[in-house]
Amino acid sequence: MHLTMAFAQLYSMLLSLLFALCSPSVLSQTSSNITPGNSLIAGEDGSLWASPSAEFAFGFKQIEENGFLLAIWFNKIPEQTIVWSVDGQNLAPKGSKVELTSNAWFRLVDPNGKQLWDASLSRTRVVAYAAMLDSGNFVLCGQDSHNLWQSFEQPTDTILPGQVLNQPAQLVARYLPTNYSRGRFLFNLQPDGNLLLYTTFFPTDLVNFAYWSTQAFGTGFSLIFNLSGYIILRADNGTIISTISSNTLSTQNFYQRAVLDYDGVFRHYIYPKNSGSSTGSWSTFSVTPSNICLRVNGVMGSGACGFNSYCTFDGTNKSCQCPNGYSFIDPYDVMKGCKQDFVSQSCDQTSREIDLFDFLEIPNMDWPFSDSEQFELVSEDWCKQECLADCFCSSVIFKNGYCWKKKQPLSNGRVDPSIRGKALIKIRKDNATLILKDNNKDNDRSQLIIIGSTLLSSSVFLNLVLLVVACLVAYRCGRSNPKGDQAVQLTSTMNLRSFTYEELWKGTKGFTEELGRGAFSIVYKGFLPNTPGNLIAVKKLNMVKGSEKEFEAEVSAIGRTHHRNLVQLLGFCNEGEDRLLVYEFMSRGTLAKFLFKDQRPTWYQRVDIAIGIAKGLLYLHEDCSTQIIHCDIKPQNILLDDAYTARISDFGLAKLLKIDQTVTTTAIRGTKGYVAIEWFKNKPITIKVDVYSFGVVLLELICCRKNFDMNVEDEHKMVLIDWVYDCFHYGKLDLLVEDDEEAQIYMKKVEEYVKIGLWCIQEDPSGRPTMKQVVQMLEGFMDVSNPPYLSSFTSQR
Ligand SMILES: *[C@@H]1O[C@H](CO)[C@@H](O)[C@H](O)[C@H]1NC(C)=O
Ligand SMILES: *[C@@H]1O[C@H](CO)[C@@H](O)[C@H](O)[C@H]1NC(C)=O
Ligand SMILES: *[C@@H]1O[C@H](CO)[C@@H](O)[C@H](O)[C@H]1NC(C)=O
Ligand SMILES: *[C@@H]1O[C@H](CO)[C@@H](O)[C@H](O)[C@H]1NC(C)=O
Ligand SMILES: *[C@@H]1O[C@H](CO)[C@@H](O)[C@H](O)[C@H]1NC(C)=O
């Protein structure tokens, strides 16, 4: 008996020794207590204090470039899930220090010595040591080993097995999954004994609506997460008032945590320990409340999702969505709600626009509040007509002969089978119902040939220049690497599928149906089950240089981007010479095809497309994990999906197609296309090159013509950006939309958009706005001032 125990001990010692040897960062600082004079510095490698088993660690987690979070995390799982942190609102800069000072003070200071946080201890208490315990609790202890302070008593949004919260106590949801600042939901164990979940009036902590509660009254109540994985509300005398989660899975075999998630759901998660492979992950064990969408019913506030959006719950996950015709104000913070994408109905008595609106039907949907009027014993048709006749009515709920008219903003939206009624959402038709004949394909091609031959005959030189520019662009973008390479990710962790060449050969029927071609690739149509429409676009790359690893790293960076205005990469093929990319199929083809044809798209479609491109670029520049400079924004690279949403394609390719050619650039200066001036001046290439190209595309969208149009007779008009500038300069913008009656109605908007376009094509990159500003201006959230005098324009004439 004793012998086996001794063996077991020896064995575990050996194991931990092995572990320690294998992870040098932990080697220096395991188990031992942290004594005064010790500190950790934000940004220094391996700067952490691990618990004896190394299952938890205390230290700095990098959240952004120069922002660190002082935190405790699960240290043995790849996710390193954070369970506790200090002030996610104000991240600590690089070089900040957390220290147990020699005069027994535990605090966080920035590199200048300014105190950012301290464990508020009474001055008379002397800390003898600090320790990161295996339970996940970080403690400060006095001489007599008494706890003076512990992280378990200062929870953020998470509780762990072994943790007890005594009333009063509170968990605050974080703002977004990776933003640790205070969010919109609270979990409260109140002084009176009640345990509640609240929505707040964000950004304050003022409570709004309690969407879940367990009643108790008096003192002596605790919330206990015990070591068998039960989460219970218990009275002092041992009576269990309420069981929030019960778990028979032992904490020996599973990591466990319970979190008030950013979406307002309190979830109990489990994670198998020693799963032996890398396939372990957190899974949801229980959720509270059982359906948050139906529970949040505040008269004030937007509900479980943002204004004008609706909430669905699948038993684990909450999802917020916008009805068609609406889109998220901020796709990364869907709780900000949805905005209407069309112009509201006019209230003008003479033009009530009744014919211009129609209804979108969503079954089992309700917006319980925001009623303006209620009718009984009416038909659905009557209900619709009533809403059409009322310019304030944005939608109606119809159920069993009842008709409720709704006004904006809509709140507490939800879809659930238990609701039974239906929502009829009023949307503008012209945007929704668009007739487009696909019969101009041939037309397009012949036009292309004509233009091609004109170009060829008029100037072989120009073609040469274009080719050189293309190479130059690819070369310099290939090298620009603003945020540094992320570590190469295993493809198995992405959603990307790795195809064999044979699969793609079959899927494209032997690469027969060509969709388009560029300097470095040819795109084919393909068929693949379980994709939208069972269609894909396969891009066959030629001239890809670099190793397999590099290729996969670049492809995985592209695969990590997800945005509604980008064409999603689905997979790739990497077999020797054959390198192919597989994309979603975009049924409506390129913007070039859509825009430069006889029947022009409506003004609204063009505005939508402009905003879509801008948002896609904003995402590439600012919001994806590795900044991506597109380098080749032009109408041929913007595709349109079924709903005519603009989707940027070919992003990330410039870097993938590293082309090592050096080119003399002097001959190119002055060529006008989509390429910014800095390409020719050997200046650094920044995201502002995309802003320039976007500006050109925007002007093309406004005027429905190519920037460079040889067919135009009047020489002044041949280069669009010059002509636009002249028109603007002489106050003659109406000339730009001469034969576009629709745009003439919106002359003020046309002028604003022209100004935005001119700002974007400033010669000085720093004078151009950022894509964020462009989006704000396009959406009317930011005033557009007059662009400065553009010296480059006149000087070249
Ligand atoms: C988190 O969100 C807040 C509120 O919008 C914002 O001020 C802060 O900069 C964000 N923090 C990070 C790291 O993105
Ligand atoms: C945890 O609580 C449950 C329910 O009260 C109880 O059955 C179980 O024995 C408790 N486990 C521990 C380790 O206290
Ligand atoms: C224990 O406390 C609860 C709440 O205060 C009370 O309802 C219950 O009667 C008490 N039970 C006993 C056995 O005292
Ligand atoms: C909930 O969302 C997570 C993360 O997005 C996902 O992994 C999980 O499969 C989803 N669960 C369900 C039931 O859809
Ligand atoms: C209007 O156009 C935008 C962009 O193309 C699209 O997202 C939206 O769904 C359209 N509205 C309707 C009602 O179809």
Nearest ligand to the C-alpha atom of residue 215: 3
Cα distance between residue 246 and residue 285, in whole Å:
9
Ligand 1: atom nearest CA of 63 is 13
Q: Is 595 left (phi over 0), alpha (psi -120 to 50) or beta?
A: alpha
Ligand 3 close to Cβ of residue 219 (< 6 A): no
State pLDDT tens for residues 389-418: 999 999 999 988 889 999 889 999 999 988
Upstream peptide bond of 289 is cis (omega within 30 degrees of 0): yes
Which amino acid is it at 439? N
For the chain, give the number of residues. 797
Cα distance between residue 294 and residue 311, in whole Å:
9
| Closest CA to ligand 2's atom 3 | 230
Of 120 and 324, the one with more pLDDT:
324
Q: Structure pTM?
A: 0.56
Question: Does the pLDDT at position 333 exceed 90?
Answer: yes
Q: What is the DSSP letter of 719?
A: B
**Secondary structure of residue 463 in the 3-state scheme:** helix
Nearest ligand to the C-alpha atom of residue 609: 5
Exposure string of 28-37, with b = 16+ CB inside 10 Å and e = fewer, is ebbeeebebe
**Closest to 57 measured CA to CA, from 4, 131, 159:** 131
Name the burial class of residue 351, with classes exposed (0-12), middle (13-18) and buried (19+) by CB atoms within 10 angstroms of its CB: exposed
Ligand 3 close to Cβ of residue 238 (< 6 A): no
Residue 267: per-residue pLDDT: 96
Cα distance between residue 607 and residue 92, in whole Å:
41
540 labelled binding-site residue: yes
Instruction: Please name the fold of domain 591-796.
Output: Transferase(Phosphotransferase); domain 1 (1.10.510)
Place of tokens 């790739």: 572
- Per DSSP bridges, beta strands 413-415 and 310-313 are parallel
Instruction: Please name the fold of domain 299-447.
Output: Hepatocyte Growth Factor (3.50.4)
Ligand 3 close to Cβ of residue 218 (< 6 A): yes
Question: Does the pLDDT at position 658 exceed 60?
Answer: no
In this predicted structure, which of 15-19, 294-298, 512-516, 707-711 has the lowest mean pLDDT?
A: 15-19
Cα distance between residue 790 and residue 728, in whole Å:
11
- Which among 341, 632, 650, 690 is annotated as catalytic? 632
State pLDDT tens for residues 136-154: 999 999 888 888 899 999 9
β strands within 2-88, DSSP E: 39-41, 48-50, 56-64, 67-74, 82-85
Measured in Å, residue 232 CA sits from the centre of ligand 4 at 26
Where along the chain do its domains lie? 1-26+156-289, 31-154, 299-447, 486-583, 591-796
- Joined tokens for residue 406: 């709704």
Measured in Å, residue 360 CA sits from the centre of ligand 5 at 12
Average pLDDT of the chain is 81
Domain 486-583 classification at class level: alpha beta
**Backbone phi and psi for residue 648, each to the nearest 5 degrees, phi listed first:** -75, 135
The CATH-assigned architecture of domain 1-26+156-289 is Orthogonal Prism (2.90)
Q: How far is CA 386 from the centre of its chain?
A: 39
- Joined tokens for residue 485: 């390479």
C-alpha dist (Å) from residue 453 to 440, 446, 711: 20, 11, 12
Cα distance between residue 264 and residue 46, in whole Å:
34
Ligand 1 probe mutation, 60, 89, 178, most atoms within 8 A of CB: 89
Place of tokens 């367990």: 214
State pLDDT tens for residues 182-231: 999 999 999 888 899 999 999 888 999 999 998 887 888 999 999 999 99
Measured in Å, residue 312 CA sits from the centre of ligand 4 at 13
- Joined tokens for residue 337: 């709600």
Measured in Å, residue 270 CA sits from the centre of ligand 4 at 14
Cα distance between residue 116 and residue 342, in whole Å:
46
Measured in Å, residue 245 CA sits from the centre of ligand 3 at 21
Cα distance between residue 544 and residue 658, in whole Å:
7
Secondary structure of the chain: what % helix, strand, coil (to 5)? Answer: 30, 25, 45
**Closest to 679 measured CA to CA, from 765, 595, 609:** 765
632 is catalytic: yes
Question: Which residues fall within 8 angstroms of residue 664, CB to CB, at 6 or more apart?
Answer: none
Nearest ligand to the C-alpha atom of residue 312: 4
State pLDDT tens for residues 262-310: 999 999 999 988 765 556 889 999 999 999 999 998 889 999 999 999 9
Cα distance between residue 611 and residue 564, in whole Å:
12
Ligand 5 close to Cβ of residue 343 (< 6 A): no
Name the burial class of residue 522, with classes exposed (0-12), middle (13-18) and buried (19+) by CB atoms within 10 angstroms of its CB: middle
The sign of the CA dihedral 210, 213, 215, 218 is negative
| Closest CA to ligand 1's atom 9 | 89
C-alpha dist (Å) from residue 518 to 300, 509, 535, 641: 54, 21, 21, 20
Rounded to an integer, the average pLDDT of 468-496 is 44
Of 8 and 267, the one with more pLDDT:
267
**Secondary structure of residue 172 in the 3-state scheme:** strand
State pLDDT tens for residues 303-331: 999 999 999 999 899 999 999 889 999 99
**Backbone phi and psi for residue 526, each to the nearest 5 degrees, phi listed first:** -140, 170
Question: Does the pLDDT at position 70 exceed 90?
Answer: yes
| Closest CA to ligand 4's atom 6 | 317
Let me know if the fold of 1-26+156-289 is the same as that of 31-154. Answer: yes
The CATH-assigned architecture of domain 31-154 is Orthogonal Prism (2.90)
**Secondary structure of residue 386 in the 3-state scheme:** helix
Exposure string of 231-240, with b = 16+ CB inside 10 Å and e = fewer, is bbbbeeeeee
